[in-house]
Amino acid sequence: MSYSLGILDQSPIIEDATNEQTLQKTVTLAQKAEQLGYTRFWVSEHHNTDTLAGSSPEVLVSYLLAKTKSINIGSGGVMLQHYSPYKVAENFHVLASLEPGRVDLGIGKAPGGLPLSTKALQYGMLNIGEDFEERLIFLQQLIDQTVPSEHELYGIQATPIPKVKPALFLLGASPQSAALAGKLGIAFVFARFINSDNDVLAQAATAYRTHHPNGHFAVSIAALAAPTKEEAKELIGDQKITKVHLASGRSLTLQSVELAEKFGQESGETFTVKQYDADILYGTPEDIKTILDDYHVRYQIDEFILHTPILKEFERERSFELLSPVYLHLQQKEAVS
């Protein structure tokens, strides 16, 4: 297999589990991902929600690093508009010093919640996070220790300086984000589970490779495997993606119509809410591998990070098992013999 596989876990609260149980399930899944041969395991950042328990990826990452041995652990991602790049660099330098070579720093541009939580996160700040590109550049300079002499903070270091830097990724769902990552020379992850338009994916791949031909281009993709294609289709059901479209031109993906309407109301803008069919890859492991193989060639994808948005614990975990490098390798060996 000429591409690697990772997992994105948003710590969904499944089957009336408590927050404590949900976070422990994330720990268990990370340990299982390590055994199953996945390259990396990422956790997300969502605020003020009772459906996901992952609100602080940097804290969860530290715990997962302590509970695993070899798999890369990272944020998918830290929402940089809310935070000081300097503090983010310090946090991940500490993590990278504790577990050299295993720490991924994925950076996201989205708010990770509704306007009320954004207001709370930015409470008391002079800057309200509208300078994302500038923040990302400064974060990269801190990690690379290349803050230029003309910068007002020249001479600053985000200590402790680790022997192995955390790997920096930009997460996005547009050609513009891909181009930014390419220009900065950092890895890019296209969030196909948010924007499933393959034309946009193709544009993002081209934009990234134009600026960074040998860079790491990954895609986070919604996928569900089951023993039969019929069962996989039934498990997916009629899942929808809900988006709120604001008068300012911004569009955001929310988990329900209610949350999308609430976001619109809290934004203070005129808005519309629309639902779209969720584009989730489904089928047997062989079905999905065939599609991933095709995407790998067509869009020059180096890695797929799997997101499985179903609220059934056994079936969700089984899907990760069926799509794992270990399982697929066993299948290939059996086919040869």
| 162: nearest Cα among 227, 82, 209, 96 | 96
Cα 199 to Cα 50: distance, rounded to the nearest angstrom: 34
The average pLDDT across 309-317 equals 95
Sign of the CA dihedral running 201, 2, 4, 215:
negative
- Spell out a b/e string for 37-75, using b for 16 or more CB atoms within 10 Å of the CB, else e: bbbbbbbbbbbebeebbbbebbebbbebbeebeebbbbb
In the chain, the percentage of residues whose pLDDT exceeds 90 is 81
Q: Is the pLDDT of residue 182 over 90?
A: yes
Position 105 pLDDT exceeds 60:
yes
Helix (H, G, I), strand (E, B) or coil at 217: strand
Rounded-to-integer distance, Cα 329 and Cα 312, Å: 26
Of 251 and 61, the structure prediction assigns the larger pLDDT to 61
pLDDT confidence of 337, banded at 50, 70, 90?
A: low
Mean pLDDT of 243-263: 85
Q: Beta-carbon neighbour count of residue 211 at 10 Å?
A: 16
Residue 155, Cβ density class (10 Å: 0-12 exposed, 13-18 middle, ≥19 buried): exposed
What average pLDDT score do residues 291-301 get? 97
Per-residue pLDDT band for 242 (boundaries 50, 70, 90) equals confident
pLDDT value at residue 126:
75
Q: How large is the average pLDDT for residues 106-130?
A: 88
Reduced to 3 states (helix: H, G, I; strand: E, B; else coil), residue 252 is strand
